[in-house]
C-alpha cells in the first residue's frame, strides 16, 4: 500500500498539467481530493460533456441562504484535472476535506467565502471560511519567494513552477515542510487536517493499494508524516484525530454544481482562493507551446475587433519586446507582466484605455460555465432554465444591453420574467433609463452572477415557478411593508411583472393603510408611485382595477390636509415638502392626461416665454383672465372642479396666500401656479415684489427666489420685469446681508442648466440705467392699491426739498 500526497496550487495551470501527468504515471486506484465529502455523489456528473468549467460545488443549508459555500473549479484547476482523470479511468473519487455540514453549522458563511476553499489559497494556510475573521498566519509562497530573492510571490511561483512545465512534487513537499517548521495550526485548520487523515485511513481500510491525495501544498506535511517510512509514521494517531473531531456542530446541507465565472474567480472579487489573472492562466494551460506569441496574436484580434489599427508587424515587435524584457529580468519565460508591457508599448502605442480592454477581455476573461440538466436543482431553478430557453435569454457573465419593445409578445414576456426575478431577489437584469421617449420601451443590463443560484434556492420556499414565487413574495412584502410609500412602490413593481393574483392583496393592504395614515407627507409620497402604476398598467394592457379609486381618495386627502402640513416648517422640512409637492404635481398631470379629452392648447399667459415649462389648461379650465380660476360658461365641462388638476391647483391657491409659509414653499407654489396658468405674470410680479420687500429678512427672500426658480431659469431669461426685480433686490442688499444669502442664491442658480445661467448673465449685463429705472417704475406701479401721483401736491414737496438743498 502506498499513499502519494501531491501538493498543488489551487488554480495553477502548471500544477494542473503536471498533476495530470503524475496521475497517469502513478495509476492510482482511488483519488482523494480536497473538498466537501457531501459532494462525492456529484463526481459522476463530470463525465457529462455539458458540465463545462468554470463551475463550482455549492453546499448550503436549506432555508438559510447565508449559510452557503462554493468550491470553484476552472479547467486549469488541478482538482478538476484530478476529477477528469479519475472519471475517465473509472477510478473512485472521494473528497477528503472537513464536511460542509460541520463548517456551515459553526457560523454563517459569506456567499463566496470558503470555496477552494476554506482558505487554502495557492498553497497558503487556511484563511477564514466566513470572509476573513481568521487571519492567515503564514504566507508560504511569499516566504519562499523572499528566500529566492523575489519581491513578488506571484512572479516567483510562475518562474519556479508554472513556466517549468513540470511540478516537482517532492521539492514542493520539502519546501512546505521547511515553511511549516514550528507552525501550530489553529483549531479549524487542525480539524480539517485531522479529517483528511481520517479519510486516508478509511481508504486504506477499504483495501486500496495506490492512493493519491490531491490537496493544497500547505497541507502536505500534515498528511505525509516522516519521509522514507510507511504512511502514518510521525502523524497524529487515529485516536487523537477522532478526539479532535468529536462533538463538532452539524447541520443538514445539500450540494450541487452551479456555473461559475472567471470574473468571480479573480482575487479582486473577494474569493479567497482566487487568482488575479484567470484568463491568462487559462491561456497558459490551453497553449503549452509558444504561449506568449499566441497571447499577443489574440490581443491583436481583440483590438482589431474594436477598429483599432494593429498590424502583423505590431505583433512581431511586441513578441520581441516581451522576450527581451524576460531576458533582462532573468525570467525563464515572458510572463503576464512582460506581455502586458508589450501590449501597452507596441499594440496600444502607450494608450491606457485599450490596455484596460485587454485586461477585462483576456487577463480576467468573462467565461461562464454550464451545468447539465441532470444536475440536482430545486424546481425554481429548473423552471428558470426552461424560461431562459423559451425566451432565448442566454445567461452570460459579460454585461450586455437588452432593449425591449413591449408591443412585441416576446419582448413583453422577457420584461415580465426580469421584473419577476427582481421581486424574488434575483437581480439578473438591471433596469436603466430607456433611450426612446415612448413608454413601450425598456432597456436592461444583463449579467449573470454565480450567487444567483443561491438566491434561487432561497426563493424556492416561495414557489416552484418564477410567477408563483414572485406572487407569494409580493404578498408577504405587502403585509410587512412599514409605510404607505413602500406599498405603492411595491405596487409599481408588481404591475410590470404581471402578477394578477398578487395585485388584489397589495390593493387591499394599500387601501387599508391609506385610510388609517393621517400623515399628509406619507400620502403625498405614496401618490406618485400609485399614479405611475395606474398609467403604466394602461400602457402594458395590465388590468389595474381599484387603482383609480385609491389614487382619487389619496389626492382628496392631500388637498384637504396640505394647508395644515405647510405651516411653521423649518428649512429641512420645507425642502422635503417642496419635493412632495413637485411629485404630486407631476402625478396630477398624469391623472389629468388620462381623464381629459383632447383639445387645442390655450394661449400661454401673458409674458410666459415660448418653449417654457408653462402648462396650458383646456378651455373648460380657463377664462379670459388666467387668474380667475376655472370657467363656468356654457362651453365648460359639466364638473370641472372634480378633475384632479382643478382640485390640486385650488388647494395650492388657497395655501399660497398664507403669511406663515416658509419662503421656499411660497416661491415654489407661486411658480407652479404661474406655469399652470392660475396666475398671470402681473400677479406673480406682485407676489415677488412683496416677498423681496424690506419687511422680510433677506434669507427668506432668497429662499423665496430659490423656490420660484426651481422650475427652471428660462422664465427669468424671457421676463425682464421679473429679472429686474431679482436684480434690484440683490443690488440693494447690505454687504452683510449679501454674505448671508449668497449660499442660498448659489444653490438656486446652480440648479439651472449652463445655457440658462449664461443667458441670465447676458440679460443682466444688458440692463442699462434707463431700463433699470423703467423696471423700478413698473415694479412700483405693480404694487397693489398704489394711487396715481397728484402733481399739485407733489410740486409743493419738490419746492420744500429744493429749499432744503439751497437750490430754490
Domain of residue 319 covers: 289-364
86-102 pLDDT, tens digit per residue, is 999 999 999 999 999 99
Lowest mean pLDDT among 23-32, 69-78, 304-313, 730-739: 730-739
Does some domain include residue 590?
Answer: no
Lowest mean pLDDT among 112-116, 328-332, 708-712: 112-116
127 pLDDT more than 70: no
Does some domain include residue 655?
Answer: no
Does some domain include residue 394?
Answer: yes
Tally of helices (H runs) and strands (E runs) in the chain: 34, 10
651 pLDDT more than 60: yes
50 with 155, same domain? yes
660-703 pLDDT, tens digit per residue, is 788 888 888 888 888 888 877 778 778 877 777 767 777 887 78
14 with 56, same domain? yes
107 with 211, same domain? yes
Number of domains comprising the chain:
3
Q: Give the separation between CA 323 and CA 310, rounded to whole angstroms.
A: 19
Confidence of residue 786 (pLDDT cuts 50, 70, 90): very low
> Looking at residue 542, what is its pLDDT?
53
Average pLDDT, the chain: 78
Does some domain include residue 708?
Answer: no
Q: Give the separation between CA 756 and CA 609, rounded to whole angstroms.
A: 13
Q: Which three cell numbers stand for residue 56?
A: 463550482
369 pLDDT more than 60: yes
413-440 pLDDT, tens digit per residue, is 999 999 999 999 999 999 887 665 556 7
350 with 466, same domain? no
341 sits in which H/E element: helix 336-342
793 pLDDT more than 80: no
Confidence of residue 540 (pLDDT cuts 50, 70, 90): low
254 with 296, same domain? no
> Looking at residue 498, what is its pLDDT?
85
Does some domain include residue 686?
Answer: no
Q: What are phi and psi of 554, to 5 degrees?
A: -65, -40
pTM equals 0.66
Q: Give the separation between CA 622 and CA 606, rounded to whole angstroms.
A: 14
Domain end: 470, 492, 514, which one? 470
> Looking at residue 751, what is its pLDDT?
72
* Mean pLDDT confidence for 616-630: 35
392 with 354, same domain? no
114 with 227, same domain? yes
> Looking at residue 390, what is its pLDDT?
94
> Looking at residue 693, what is its pLDDT?
74
244 with 125, same domain? yes
Confidence of residue 772 (pLDDT cuts 50, 70, 90): very low
Domain end: 364, 392, 425, which one? 364
> Looking at residue 536, what is its pLDDT?
59
Highest mean pLDDT: which range of 11-25, 268-282, 594-608, 738-752: 11-25
228 with 332, same domain? no
As a whole number of angstroms, the longest Cα–Cα distance in the chain is: 132
* Mean pLDDT confidence for 179-200: 89
> Looking at residue 112, what is its pLDDT?
39
Q: What is the DSSP annotation of 426-463?
A: --SEEEE--SSSSTTEEEEEE---THHHHHHHHHTTT-
Does some domain include residue 213?
Answer: yes
445 with 330, same domain? no
Does some domain include residue 492?
Answer: no
Q: Is-contact 18 167, C-beta < 8 A?
A: yes
Buried b (16+ CB within 10 A) or exposed e, 757-795: eebbeebeeebeeeeeeebeebbeebeeeeeeeeeeeee
134 with 81, same domain? yes
Strands laid side by side in the 55-61 sheet: 64-73, 55-61, 254-259
Does some domain include residue 662?
Answer: no
Our measurement of the distance from residue 654's CA atom to the centroid of its chain's CA atoms, rounded to an integer in Å, reads 43
CB atoms within 10 A of CB 625: 9
Domain end: 364, 393, 410, which one? 364
> Looking at residue 109, what is its pLDDT?
43
331 with 233, same domain? no
Amino acid at each position: 500500500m502506498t499513499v502519494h500526497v501531491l501538493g498543488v496550487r489551487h488554480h495553477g495551470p502548471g500544477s494542473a498539467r503536471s498533476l495530470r501527468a503524475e496521475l497517469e504515471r502513478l495509476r492510482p486506484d482511488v483519488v482523494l481530493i480536497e473538498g466537501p465529502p457531501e459532494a462525492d455523489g456529484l463526481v459522476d456528473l463530470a463525465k457529462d460533456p455539458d458540465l463545462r468549467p468554470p463551475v463550482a460545488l455549492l453546499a448550503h443549508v436549506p432555508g438559510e441562504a447565508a449559510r452557503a459555500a462554493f468550491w470553484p473549479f476552472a479547467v486549469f484547476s488541478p482538482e478538476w484535472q484530478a476529477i477528469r482523470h479519475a472519471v475517465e479511468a473509472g477510478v473512485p473519487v472521494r473528497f477528503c476535506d472537513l464536511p460542509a455540514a460541520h463548517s456551515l453549522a459553526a457560523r454563517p458563511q459569506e456567499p463566496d467565502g470558503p470555496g477552494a476553499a476554506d482558505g487554502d489559497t495557492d498553497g497558503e494556510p487556511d484563511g477564514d471560511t466566513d470572509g476573513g475573521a481568521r487571519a492567515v498566519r503564514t504566507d508560504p509562497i511569499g516566504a519562499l519567494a523572499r528566500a529566492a530573492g523575489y519581491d513578488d510571490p506571484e512572479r516567483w511561483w510562475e518562474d519556479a513552477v508554472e513556466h517549468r512545465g513540470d511540478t516537482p512534487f517532492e521539492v514542493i513537499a520539502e519546501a512546505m515542510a521547511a515553511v511549516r517548521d514550528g507552525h501550530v495550526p489553529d483549531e479549524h485548520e487542525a480539524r480539517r487536517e485531522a479529517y483528511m487523515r481520517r479519510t486516508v485511513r478509511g481508504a486504506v481500510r477499504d483495501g486500496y493499494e495506490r492512493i493519491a491525495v490531491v490537496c493544497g501544498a500547505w497541507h502536505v506535511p500534515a498528511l505525509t508524516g516522516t519521509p522514507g517510512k510507511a504512511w502514518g509514521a510521525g502523524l497524529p494517531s487515529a485516536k487523537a484525530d477522532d478526539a479532535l473531531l468529536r462533538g463538532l456542530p452539524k447541520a443538514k446541507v445539500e450540494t450541487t454544481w452551479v456555473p461559475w465565472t472567471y470574473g468571480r474567480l479573480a482575487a479582486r472579487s473577494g474569493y479567497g482562493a482566487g487568482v488575479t489573472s484567470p484568463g491568462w492562466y487559462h491561456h497558459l494551460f490551453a497553449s503549452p507551446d509558444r504561449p506568449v506569441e499566441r497571447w499577443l496574436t489574440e490581443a491583436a484580434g481583440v483590438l482589431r475587433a474594436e477598429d483599432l489599427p494593429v498590424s502583423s508587424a505590431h505583433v512581431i515587435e511586441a513578441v520581441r519586446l516581451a522576450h527581451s524584457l524576460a531576458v533582462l529580468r532573468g525570467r525563464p519565460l515572458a510572463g503576464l507582466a512582460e506581455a502586458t508591457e508589450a501590449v501597452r508599448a507596441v499594440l496600444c502605442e502607450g494608450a491606457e484605455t485599450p490596455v484596460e480592454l485587454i485586461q477585462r477581455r483576456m487577463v480576467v476573461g468573462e467565461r461562464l460555465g454550464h451545468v447539465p440538466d441532470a444536475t440536482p436543482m430545486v424546481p425554481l431553478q429548473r423552471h428558470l432554465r426552461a424560461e431562459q430557453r423559451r425566451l432565448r435569454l442566454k445567461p452570460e457573465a459579460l454585461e450586455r444591453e437588452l432593449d425591449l419593445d413591449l408591443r412585441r409578445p416576446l419582448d413583453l414576456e422577457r420584461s415580465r420574467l426580469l421584473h419577476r426575478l427582481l421581486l424574488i431577489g434575483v437581480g439578473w437584469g438591471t433596469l436603466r433609463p430607456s433611450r426612446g421617449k415612448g413608454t413601450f420601451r425598456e432597456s436592461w443590463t444583463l449579467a449573470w452572477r454565480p450567487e444567483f443560484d443561491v438566491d434561487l434556492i432561497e426563493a424556492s420556499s416561495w414557489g416552484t415557478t418564477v410567477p408563483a414565487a414572485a406572487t407569494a413574495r409580493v404578498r408577504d412584502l405587502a403585509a410587512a411593508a412599514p409605510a404607505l410609500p413602500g406599498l405603492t412602490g411595491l405596487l409599481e413593481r408588481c404591475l410590470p411583472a404581471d402578477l394578477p393574483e398578487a395585485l388584489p392583496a397589495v390593493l387591499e393592504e394599500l387601501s387599508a393603510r391609506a385610510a388609517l395614515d393621517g400623515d399628509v407627507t406619507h400620502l403625498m409620497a405614496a401618490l406618485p408611485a400609485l399614479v405611475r402604476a395606474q398609467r403604466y398598467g394602461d400602457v402594458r394592457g395590465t388590468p389595474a382595477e381599484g387603482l383609480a379609486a385609491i389614487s382619487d381618495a389619496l389626492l382628496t386627502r392631500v388637498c384637504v390636509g396640505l394647508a395644515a402640513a405647510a405651516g411653521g416648517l423649518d428649512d429641512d422640512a420645507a425642502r422635503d415638502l417642496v419635493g412632495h409637492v413637485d411629485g404630486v404635481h407631476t402625478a396630477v398631470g398624469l391623472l389629468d392626461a388620462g381623464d381629459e379629452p383632447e383639445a387645442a392648447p390655450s394661449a400661454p399667459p401673458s409674458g410666459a416665454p415660448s418653449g417654457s415649462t408653462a402648462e396650458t389648461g383646456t378651455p373648460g379650465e380657463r377664462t379670459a383672465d388666467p387668474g380667475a380660476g376655472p370657467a363656468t360658461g356654457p362651453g365648460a365641462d359639466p364638473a370641472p372642479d372634480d378633475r384632479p388638476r382643478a382640485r390640486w391647483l385650488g388647494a395650492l391657491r388657497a395655501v399660497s396666500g398664507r403669511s406663515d409659509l416658509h419662503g421656499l414653499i411660497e416661491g415654489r407654489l407661486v411658480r407652479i401656479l404661474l406655469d399652470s396658468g392660475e396666475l398671470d405674470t402681473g400677479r406673480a410680479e406682485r407676489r415677488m415684489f412683496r416677498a423681496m420687500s424690506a419687511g422680510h429678512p433677506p434669507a427668506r427672500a432668497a429662499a423665496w427666489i430659490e423656490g420660484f426658480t426651481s422650475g427652471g431659469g428660462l422664465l427669468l431669461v424671457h421676463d425682464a420685469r421679473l429679472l429686474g426685480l431679482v436684480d434690484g433686490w440683490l443690488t440693494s442688499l447690505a454687504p452683510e446681508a449679501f454674505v448671508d444669502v449668497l449660499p442660498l442664491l448659489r444653490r438656486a442658480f446652480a440648479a439651472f442648466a449652463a445655457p440658462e445661467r449664461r443667458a441670465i448673465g447676458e440679460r443682466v449685463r444688458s440692463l442699462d440705467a434707463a431700463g433699470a429705472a423703467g423696471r423700478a417704475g413698473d415694479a412700483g406701479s405693480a404694487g397693489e392699491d398704489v394711487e396715481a401721483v397728484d402733481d399739485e401736491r407733489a410740486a409743493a414737496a419738490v419746492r420744500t426739498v429744493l429749499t432744503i438743498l439751497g437750490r430754490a
